[in-house]
């Protein structure tokens, strides 16, 4: 007589099937619970506004911010040059023994200087100045443009040249004020230059560089004889 195999042995052999069936049942209960707790989604229709004529159109505003580079803003520097004043011929300016006197004054024979000439080398017709009247140095171009207003034209060109060519020295700190006195020699060159009160050597060098780069003057005269003439320029420098 053959013995029958007990049922639990068959069930023990089908472990994988039992695990799969249990997983399906657990997932079913989970989905039912999730659906039961989820609120119902209500969809509402938005009103039709196409018929509204006064409905404002959208306005888009774009704001851009500059990136913060961490660098400090560069300080601004200003150089103010006041109107130029010519000193009477023969008047010596205040001297500063610490300043370079510049090239020496030549001592040629006192002869009247010729009138300006044009490009062909012929002497132009000029209106003579009043004899024995002090004539300040001037630029030949000013004389050609307007012989009756050579002094204002010359001073304007000097000031424009200084404003255009002057470069602020790096040594300037705060507010620096001085009076620049320079002499136009009898040959039309810029000679001695003095800054009073005394300023930084770099400022003096820059002032000399700019003044000596000007075009040569027609020299000043006294009674028809060339004489040196001094000019004074109040100079104000500010860094900040």
Is the confidence at residue 237, as pLDDT, over 70? yes
The yes-or-no verdict on residue 80 having pLDDT over 80 is no
What confidence score (pLDDT) does residue 190 get? 95
86 or 189, which is more confident: 189
- Whether the CB-CB separation of 228 and 185 falls below 8 Å is answered with yes
Q: Is the pLDDT of residue 188 over 80?
A: yes
Instruction: Say which residues have a Cβ less than 8 Å from residue 194's Cβ, sequence separation at least 6.
Output: 93, 94, 95, 96, 99, 180, 181, 182
Q: Judge contact between 52 and 198, C-beta under 8 A.
A: no
User: From the centroid of its chain, how far is CA 120?
Assistant: 43
Q: What is the pTM of this model?
A: 0.50
Q: What percent of the chain has pLDDT over 70?
A: 52
What is the enclosing helix (H) or strand (E) of 191?
A: strand 190-196
Mean pLDDT of the chain: 70
Reply yes or no on whether the pLDDT at 23 is more than 70. Answer: yes
* Domain residue spans of the chain: 77-97+130-239
* Of the candidates 196, 188, 184, 238, the residue with the CA atom closest to the CA atom of residue 217: 188
Backbone conformation region of residue 102, classed left if phi is above 0, alpha if psi is from -120 to 50, else beta: left
Whether the predicted pLDDT of 60 surpasses 50:
no
Residue 150 banded pLDDT, cuts 50, 70, 90: very high
What's the confidence (pLDDT) of residue 223? Answer: 87
Residues 154-169 have pLDDT tens digits of 999 999 999 899 998 8
Lowest-confidence range among 123-132, 175-184, 219-228? 123-132
Q: Are 195 and 203 in contact (CB under 8 A)?
A: yes
From the centroid of its chain, how far is CA 89? 39
Give dist(CA 149, CA 125) in Å, integer.
16
Q: Which residue has the higher pLDDT, 4 or 32?
A: 32
d(CA 121, CA 1): 154
140: pLDDT strictly greater than 90: yes
Select the more confidently predicted residue: 148 or 45: 148
Q: Highest mean pLDDT range out of 8-22, 30-44, 115-129?
A: 8-22
């Amino acid at each position: 007589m053959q013995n029958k195999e007990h049922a639990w042995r068959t069930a023990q052999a089908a472990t994988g099937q039992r695990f799969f069936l249990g997983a399906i049942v657990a997932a079913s209960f989970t989905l039912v619970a999730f659906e039961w707790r989820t609120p119902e989604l209500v969809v509402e229709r938005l009103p039709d506004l196409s018929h509204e004529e006064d409905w404002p159109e959208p306005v888009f505003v774009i704001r851009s911010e500059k990136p913060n580079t961490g660098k400090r803003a560069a300080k601004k520097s200003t150089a103010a040059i006041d109107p130029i004043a010519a000193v009477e011929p023969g008047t010596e300016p205040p001297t500063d023994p610490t300043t370079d006197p510049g090239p020496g004054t030549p001592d040629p024979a006192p002869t009247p200087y010729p009138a300006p000439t044009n490009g062909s080398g012929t002497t132009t017709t000029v209106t003579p100045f009043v004899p024995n009247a002090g004539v300040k140095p001037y630029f030949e171009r000013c004389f050609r443009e307007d012989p009756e207003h050579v002094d204002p034209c010359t001073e304007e060109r000097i000031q424009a040249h200084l404003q255009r060519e002057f470069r602020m020295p790096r040594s300037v700190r705060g507010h620096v004020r001085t009076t620049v006195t320079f002499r136009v020699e009898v040959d039309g060159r810029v000679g001695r230059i003095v800054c009073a009160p005394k300023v930084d050597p770099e400022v003096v060098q820059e002032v000399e560089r700019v003044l000596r780069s000007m075009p040569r003057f027609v020299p000043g005269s006294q009674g028809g004889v060339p004489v040196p003439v001094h000019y004074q320029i109040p100079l104000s420098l500010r860094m900040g």
